[in-house]
Protein backbone atom coordinates (compact mmCIF):
# COMPACT_ATOMS: atom_id res chain seq x y z
CA UNK A 1 0.00 0.00 0.00
CA UNK A 2 2.80 2.36 0.97
CA UNK A 3 4.58 1.78 -2.30
CA UNK A 4 1.36 2.38 -4.27
CA UNK A 5 0.92 5.70 -2.52
CA UNK A 6 4.51 6.62 -3.29
CA UNK A 7 4.16 5.63 -6.95
CA UNK A 8 1.02 7.73 -7.31
CA UNK A 9 2.66 10.71 -5.76
CA UNK A 10 5.69 10.37 -8.05
CA UNK A 11 3.83 10.48 -11.38
CA UNK A 12 2.40 13.81 -12.29
CA UNK A 13 -0.68 13.19 -14.52
CA UNK A 14 0.19 16.15 -16.76
CA UNK A 15 3.55 14.75 -17.84
CA UNK A 16 3.14 11.00 -17.30
CA UNK A 17 5.48 8.92 -19.44
CA UNK A 18 2.36 7.10 -20.71
CA UNK A 19 0.29 10.19 -21.41
CA UNK A 20 -1.98 9.61 -24.45
CA UNK A 21 -0.81 12.98 -25.82
CA UNK A 22 2.73 11.70 -26.07
CA UNK A 23 2.03 8.33 -27.74
CA UNK A 24 5.18 6.29 -27.13
CA UNK A 25 6.54 6.12 -23.56
CA UNK A 26 9.03 8.92 -23.03
CA UNK A 27 11.41 7.97 -20.29
CA UNK A 28 13.33 11.22 -20.18
CA UNK A 29 10.02 12.93 -19.38
CA UNK A 30 9.30 10.20 -16.88
CA UNK A 31 12.62 10.86 -15.26
CA UNK A 32 12.02 14.62 -15.12
CA UNK A 33 8.51 14.00 -13.84
CA UNK A 34 9.79 11.68 -11.14
CA UNK A 35 12.67 13.89 -10.23
CA UNK A 36 10.62 17.05 -9.94
CA UNK A 37 8.23 15.39 -7.52
CA UNK A 38 8.80 16.34 -3.92
CA UNK A 39 8.94 12.86 -2.49
CA UNK A 40 11.92 11.64 -4.52
CA UNK A 41 14.17 14.04 -2.66
CA UNK A 42 12.83 13.10 0.75
CA UNK A 43 13.62 10.14 2.92
CA UNK A 44 10.91 7.45 3.25
CA UNK A 45 10.05 9.04 6.59
CA UNK A 46 8.81 12.12 4.68
CA UNK A 47 5.69 10.15 3.69
CA UNK A 48 4.22 11.10 7.02
CA UNK A 49 2.15 14.23 6.57
CA UNK A 50 3.92 16.31 9.21
CA UNK A 51 7.20 15.69 7.35
CA UNK A 52 5.96 16.98 4.00
CA UNK A 53 7.12 20.46 4.85
CA UNK A 54 9.29 21.50 1.84
CA UNK A 55 11.78 23.08 4.23
CA UNK A 56 12.66 19.65 5.52
CA UNK A 57 13.61 18.37 2.06
CA UNK A 58 17.10 18.88 0.61
CA UNK A 59 17.32 21.53 -2.17
CA UNK A 60 16.18 20.39 -5.66
CA UNK A 61 18.77 20.06 -8.42
CA UNK A 62 18.45 22.57 -11.27
CA UNK A 63 16.35 21.62 -14.34
CA UNK A 64 19.53 21.78 -16.46
CA UNK A 65 21.21 19.21 -14.20
CA UNK A 66 18.15 16.97 -14.41
CA UNK A 67 18.06 17.20 -18.22
CA UNK A 68 21.74 16.32 -18.45
CA UNK A 69 21.14 13.37 -16.15
CA UNK A 70 18.12 12.24 -18.21
CA UNK A 71 20.12 12.30 -21.45
CA UNK A 72 22.89 10.39 -19.73
CA UNK A 73 20.39 7.79 -18.47
CA UNK A 74 18.60 7.54 -21.80
CA UNK A 75 21.71 6.64 -23.82
CA UNK A 76 22.13 7.38 -27.50
CA UNK A 77 19.11 5.74 -29.25
CA UNK A 78 17.06 4.07 -26.52
CA UNK A 79 13.78 5.78 -27.46
CA UNK A 80 13.51 3.68 -30.65
CA UNK A 81 14.53 0.31 -29.17
CA UNK A 82 11.87 -2.41 -28.98
CA UNK A 83 11.67 -6.10 -28.07
CA UNK A 84 9.02 -8.41 -29.56
CA UNK A 85 8.82 -12.05 -28.50
CA UNK A 86 7.12 -14.83 -30.52
CA UNK A 87 6.72 -18.19 -28.73
CA UNK A 88 4.76 -21.40 -29.20
CA UNK A 89 5.30 -25.10 -29.91
CA UNK A 90 7.12 -26.42 -32.94
CA UNK A 91 5.29 -25.96 -36.29
CA UNK A 92 3.32 -22.99 -34.90
CA UNK A 93 4.71 -20.56 -37.48
CA UNK A 94 7.26 -18.79 -35.25
CA UNK A 95 9.98 -18.69 -37.90
CA UNK A 96 7.43 -17.74 -40.59
CA UNK A 97 6.15 -14.89 -38.40
CA UNK A 98 9.70 -13.71 -37.66
CA UNK A 99 10.56 -13.71 -41.38
CA UNK A 100 7.36 -11.88 -42.23
CA UNK A 101 8.22 -9.13 -39.75
CA UNK A 102 11.83 -8.93 -40.94
CA UNK A 103 10.80 -8.76 -44.61
CA UNK A 104 8.26 -6.04 -43.95
CA UNK A 105 10.81 -3.99 -41.95
CA UNK A 106 13.29 -4.46 -44.78
CA UNK A 107 10.80 -3.34 -47.43
CA UNK A 108 10.12 -0.26 -45.29
CA UNK A 109 13.77 0.67 -45.80
CA UNK A 110 15.13 -0.60 -42.48
CA UNK A 111 18.42 -2.38 -42.25
CA UNK A 112 17.88 -5.94 -40.93
CA UNK A 113 19.85 -9.01 -39.85
CA UNK A 114 18.73 -12.44 -38.65
CA UNK A 115 20.63 -14.67 -36.22
CA UNK A 116 20.04 -18.38 -35.67
CA UNK A 117 21.71 -20.94 -33.46
CA UNK A 118 24.61 -22.84 -34.99
CA UNK A 119 23.39 -25.94 -33.15
CA UNK A 120 20.92 -26.59 -35.97
CA UNK A 121 22.95 -27.48 -39.05
CA UNK A 122 20.12 -29.26 -40.91
CA UNK A 123 19.71 -26.65 -43.65
CA UNK A 124 23.25 -25.25 -43.63
CA UNK A 125 24.37 -22.28 -41.57
CA UNK A 126 23.73 -19.39 -43.93
CA UNK A 127 19.93 -19.35 -43.95
CA UNK A 128 16.94 -20.00 -41.75
CA UNK A 129 14.31 -22.26 -43.24
CA UNK A 130 10.70 -22.69 -42.11
CA UNK A 131 8.94 -26.07 -41.95
CA UNK A 132 7.24 -25.23 -45.25
CA UNK A 133 10.49 -24.30 -46.98
CA UNK A 134 10.63 -20.45 -46.87
CA UNK A 135 14.24 -19.21 -46.57
CA UNK A 136 16.08 -16.10 -45.42
CA UNK A 137 19.85 -15.42 -45.15
CA UNK A 138 21.16 -15.41 -41.60
CA UNK A 139 24.22 -15.45 -39.36
CA UNK A 140 24.58 -18.71 -37.37
CA UNK A 141 26.16 -18.26 -33.93
CA UNK A 142 26.86 -20.19 -30.75
CA UNK A 143 26.32 -17.13 -28.59
CA UNK A 144 24.83 -13.71 -29.19
CA UNK A 145 27.67 -11.78 -27.59
CA UNK A 146 29.85 -12.58 -30.61
CA UNK A 147 27.37 -11.04 -33.07
CA UNK A 148 28.68 -7.46 -33.03
CA UNK A 149 32.25 -8.53 -33.65
CA UNK A 150 31.32 -11.15 -36.30
CA UNK A 151 28.91 -8.85 -38.11
CA UNK A 152 31.31 -5.90 -37.86
CA UNK A 153 30.97 -2.97 -35.46
CA UNK A 154 30.14 -0.43 -38.21
CA UNK A 155 27.58 -2.73 -39.84
CA UNK A 156 26.08 -3.37 -36.39
CA UNK A 157 25.73 0.36 -35.76
CA UNK A 158 23.80 0.72 -39.04
CA UNK A 159 21.32 -2.04 -38.15
CA UNK A 160 17.76 -1.13 -37.27
CA UNK A 161 16.22 -4.58 -36.76
CA UNK A 162 17.71 -7.82 -35.40
CA UNK A 163 15.78 -11.10 -35.68
CA UNK A 164 16.74 -14.04 -33.46
CA UNK A 165 15.42 -17.51 -34.31
CA UNK A 166 15.59 -20.60 -32.05
CA UNK A 167 16.14 -18.27 -29.11
CA UNK A 168 15.93 -21.16 -26.63
CA UNK A 169 19.48 -22.15 -27.61
CA UNK A 170 21.11 -18.83 -26.61
CA UNK A 171 22.26 -18.61 -23.00
CA UNK A 172 23.08 -14.89 -23.24
CA UNK A 173 19.68 -13.94 -24.68
CA UNK A 174 18.68 -11.62 -21.83
CA UNK A 175 21.83 -9.49 -21.77
CA UNK A 176 22.03 -9.27 -25.56
CA UNK A 177 18.39 -8.20 -26.00
CA UNK A 178 18.51 -5.69 -23.17
CA UNK A 179 21.64 -4.03 -24.49
CA UNK A 180 20.51 -4.08 -28.14
CA UNK A 181 17.16 -2.43 -27.33
CA UNK A 182 18.00 -0.21 -24.34
CA UNK A 183 21.47 0.99 -25.28
CA UNK A 184 21.73 0.54 -29.04
CA UNK A 185 18.13 1.41 -30.00
CA UNK A 186 17.55 -1.75 -32.04
CA UNK A 187 14.21 -3.39 -32.74
CA UNK A 188 14.75 -6.99 -31.64
CA UNK A 189 12.31 -9.68 -32.80
CA UNK A 190 12.79 -13.04 -31.07
CA UNK A 191 11.25 -16.40 -32.01
CA UNK A 192 11.68 -19.46 -29.81
CA UNK A 193 10.14 -22.34 -27.93
CA UNK A 194 8.69 -21.29 -24.58
CA UNK A 195 8.67 -24.93 -23.42
CA UNK A 196 10.62 -28.10 -24.14
CA UNK A 197 9.13 -31.54 -24.83
CA UNK A 198 8.37 -31.93 -21.11
CA UNK A 199 6.70 -28.47 -21.06
CA UNK A 200 9.48 -27.05 -18.88
CA UNK A 201 10.68 -23.49 -19.46
CA UNK A 202 13.24 -23.71 -22.29
CA UNK A 203 16.54 -21.79 -22.08
CA UNK A 204 16.15 -18.05 -21.37
CA UNK A 205 13.11 -17.40 -23.57
CA UNK A 206 10.73 -16.74 -20.67
CA UNK A 207 13.31 -14.58 -18.89
CA UNK A 208 13.07 -11.91 -21.57
CA UNK A 209 9.32 -11.38 -21.18
CA UNK A 210 9.84 -8.65 -18.56
CA UNK A 211 11.98 -6.81 -21.15
CA UNK A 212 9.46 -7.14 -23.98
CA UNK A 213 7.15 -4.63 -25.68
CA UNK A 214 5.00 -7.48 -26.99
CA UNK A 215 4.67 -11.24 -26.49
CA UNK A 216 2.79 -13.46 -28.97
CA UNK A 217 2.05 -17.13 -28.31
CA UNK A 218 1.26 -18.96 -31.55
CA UNK A 219 -0.38 -22.37 -31.86
CA UNK A 220 -0.03 -25.20 -34.36
CA UNK A 221 -2.59 -27.89 -35.30
CA UNK A 222 -2.65 -31.06 -33.19
CA UNK A 223 -1.46 -33.87 -35.41
CA UNK A 224 -3.84 -36.31 -33.73
CA UNK A 225 -7.13 -34.39 -33.74
CA UNK A 226 -6.61 -31.13 -35.66
CA UNK A 227 -7.45 -28.91 -32.68
CA UNK A 228 -5.16 -26.09 -31.58
CA UNK A 229 -1.77 -27.41 -30.44
CA UNK A 230 0.05 -25.67 -27.58
CA UNK A 231 2.71 -28.28 -26.85
CA UNK A 232 5.45 -30.28 -28.56
CA UNK A 233 5.51 -34.05 -28.05
CA UNK A 234 8.81 -35.89 -28.57
CA UNK A 235 8.10 -39.18 -30.31
CA UNK A 236 11.41 -40.85 -29.46
CA UNK A 237 13.03 -42.18 -26.29
CA UNK A 238 15.81 -39.59 -25.99
CA UNK A 239 15.79 -37.72 -22.70
CA UNK A 240 18.21 -34.82 -23.21
CA UNK A 241 16.61 -31.36 -23.35
CA UNK A 242 18.33 -30.28 -26.55
CA UNK A 243 17.72 -32.59 -29.50
CA UNK A 244 17.68 -31.07 -32.98
CA UNK A 245 14.95 -32.47 -35.22
CA UNK A 246 11.75 -31.88 -37.15
CA UNK A 247 8.65 -33.93 -37.86
CA UNK A 248 10.77 -37.09 -37.59
CA UNK A 249 11.18 -36.52 -33.84
CA UNK A 250 8.45 -34.09 -32.76
CA UNK A 251 4.79 -33.35 -33.28
CA UNK A 252 2.55 -30.51 -32.14
CA UNK A 253 -0.34 -31.64 -29.93
CA UNK A 254 -3.32 -30.34 -27.96
CA UNK A 255 -3.44 -30.77 -24.17
CA UNK A 256 -5.44 -34.01 -24.30
CA UNK A 257 -3.07 -35.64 -26.76
CA UNK A 258 0.00 -34.32 -24.96
CA UNK A 259 -1.12 -36.05 -21.76
CA UNK A 260 -2.10 -39.35 -23.46
CA UNK A 261 0.91 -39.29 -25.85
CA UNK A 262 3.36 -38.61 -23.03
CA UNK A 263 1.86 -41.49 -21.00
CA UNK A 264 2.30 -43.89 -23.94
CA UNK A 265 5.91 -42.74 -24.47
CA UNK A 266 6.77 -43.10 -20.77
CA UNK A 267 5.17 -46.56 -20.56
CA UNK A 268 7.05 -47.67 -23.69
CA UNK A 269 10.30 -46.27 -22.31
CA UNK A 270 9.99 -48.08 -18.97
CA UNK A 271 8.98 -51.30 -20.76
CA UNK A 272 12.07 -51.06 -23.00
CA UNK A 273 14.33 -50.24 -20.03
CA UNK A 274 12.98 -53.19 -18.04
CA UNK A 275 13.39 -55.64 -20.93
CA UNK A 276 16.95 -54.37 -21.55
CA UNK A 277 17.78 -54.88 -17.84
CA UNK A 278 16.39 -58.43 -17.82
CA UNK A 279 18.33 -59.27 -21.01
CA UNK A 280 21.53 -57.98 -19.33
CA UNK A 281 20.85 -60.13 -16.25
CA UNK A 282 20.18 -63.24 -18.40
CA UNK A 283 23.31 -62.69 -20.52
CA UNK A 284 25.50 -61.86 -17.52
N1 LIG B 1 0.83 -29.77 -37.33
C2 LIG B 1 1.09 -28.62 -37.94
N3 LIG B 1 0.44 -27.48 -37.54
C4 LIG B 1 0.70 -26.31 -38.16
N5 LIG B 1 1.59 -26.16 -39.17
C6 LIG B 1 2.27 -27.23 -39.58
C7 LIG B 1 2.06 -28.51 -39.00
N8 LIG B 1 2.88 -29.37 -39.62
C9 LIG B 1 3.57 -28.67 -40.56
N10 LIG B 1 3.20 -27.37 -40.55
C11 LIG B 1 3.76 -26.32 -41.43
O12 LIG B 1 4.71 -25.59 -40.68
C13 LIG B 1 4.60 -24.23 -41.02
C14 LIG B 1 5.18 -23.38 -39.89
O15 LIG B 1 6.59 -23.53 -39.95
P16 LIG B 1 7.58 -22.64 -39.07
O17 LIG B 1 7.29 -21.19 -39.31
O18 LIG B 1 8.95 -23.13 -39.40
O19 LIG B 1 7.14 -23.04 -37.59
P20 LIG B 1 7.98 -22.97 -36.22
O21 LIG B 1 9.13 -22.03 -36.41
O22 LIG B 1 7.00 -22.48 -35.18
O23 LIG B 1 8.41 -24.38 -35.94
C24 LIG B 1 3.13 -24.02 -41.25
O25 LIG B 1 2.88 -22.92 -42.08
C26 LIG B 1 2.73 -25.33 -41.93
O27 LIG B 1 2.90 -25.23 -43.33
C1 LIG C 1 10.58 -29.47 -28.12
C2 LIG C 1 12.06 -29.45 -28.28
C3 LIG C 1 12.63 -29.02 -29.47
N4 LIG C 1 13.96 -29.01 -29.61
C5 LIG C 1 14.58 -28.57 -30.88
C6 LIG C 1 14.01 -29.21 -32.12
C7 LIG C 1 14.24 -28.19 -33.20
O8 LIG C 1 15.56 -28.40 -33.70
C9 LIG C 1 14.16 -26.86 -32.44
C10 LIG C 1 12.84 -26.17 -32.58
O11 LIG C 1 12.69 -25.65 -33.87
P12 LIG C 1 11.35 -24.90 -34.36
O13 LIG C 1 11.87 -23.81 -35.25
O14 LIG C 1 10.62 -24.38 -33.18
O15 LIG C 1 10.55 -25.91 -35.12
O16 LIG C 1 14.35 -27.19 -31.05
C17 LIG C 1 14.79 -29.40 -28.57
O18 LIG C 1 16.04 -29.35 -28.69
N19 LIG C 1 14.24 -29.84 -27.40
C20 LIG C 1 12.89 -29.88 -27.21
O21 LIG C 1 12.44 -30.28 -26.09
ZN1 LIG D 1 -5.31 -33.35 -30.15
Cα gap 163→122, rounded to integer Å: 19
Please list the helix, strand and coil fractions of the chain in percent, rounded to the nearest 5, in that order: 45, 20, 35
pLDDT digits (tens, 9 = 90+) for 251-271: 999 999 999 999 999 898 888
The top-scoring range by mean pLDDT among 58-62, 125-129, 276-280 is 125-129
Interstrand relation of 231-234 and 250-253 (parallel, antiparallel or unpaired): antiparallel
Say yes or no: 94 and 169 in one domain.
Answer: yes
Q: CATH no. for residue 255?
A: 3.30.60.20
pLDDT digits (tens, 9 = 90+) for 70-119: 334 444 444 589 999 999 999 999 999 999 999 999 999 999 999 999 99
Mean pLDDT of 132-146: 95
Say yes or no: 60 and 117 in one domain.
Answer: no
The residue out of 193, 218, 243 marking a domain boundary is: 218
Q: Is 171 a catalytic residue?
A: no
* Per annotation, catalytic residue among 103, 166, 171, 274: 166
Cα gap 253→90, rounded to integer Å: 10
Selection from 85, 91, 86 nearest residue 220 by Cα: 91
From 116, 164, 193, 229, the mutation candidate for ligand 2 (largest count of ligand atoms within 8 A of CB) is 193
Please report the atom of ligand 2 found closest to the CA of residue 244.
Answer: 8
pTM equals: 0.76
pLDDT digits (tens, 9 = 90+) for 171-211: 999 999 999 999 999 999 999 999 999 999 999 999 999 99
Helix axes 63-74, 27-36, angle to 10 degrees: 140
The residue out of 182, 197, 218 marking a domain boundary is: 218
Do residues 31 and 66 make contact, with C-beta atoms less than 8 angstroms apart? yes
The DSSP code for 60 is P
Selection from 100, 80, 94 nearest residue 180 by Cα: 80
- List the domain range (segments joined by +) for residue 18: 2-74
Amino acid sequence: MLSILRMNSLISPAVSAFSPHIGKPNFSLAFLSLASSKSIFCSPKSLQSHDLDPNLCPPRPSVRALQARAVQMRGPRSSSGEIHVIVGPMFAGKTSSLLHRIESESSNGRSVAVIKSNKDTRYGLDSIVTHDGAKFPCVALGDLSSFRQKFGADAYDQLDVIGIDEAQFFEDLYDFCREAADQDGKIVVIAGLDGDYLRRSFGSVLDIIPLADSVTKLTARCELCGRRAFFTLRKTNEKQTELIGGADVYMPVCRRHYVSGQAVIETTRSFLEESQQSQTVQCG
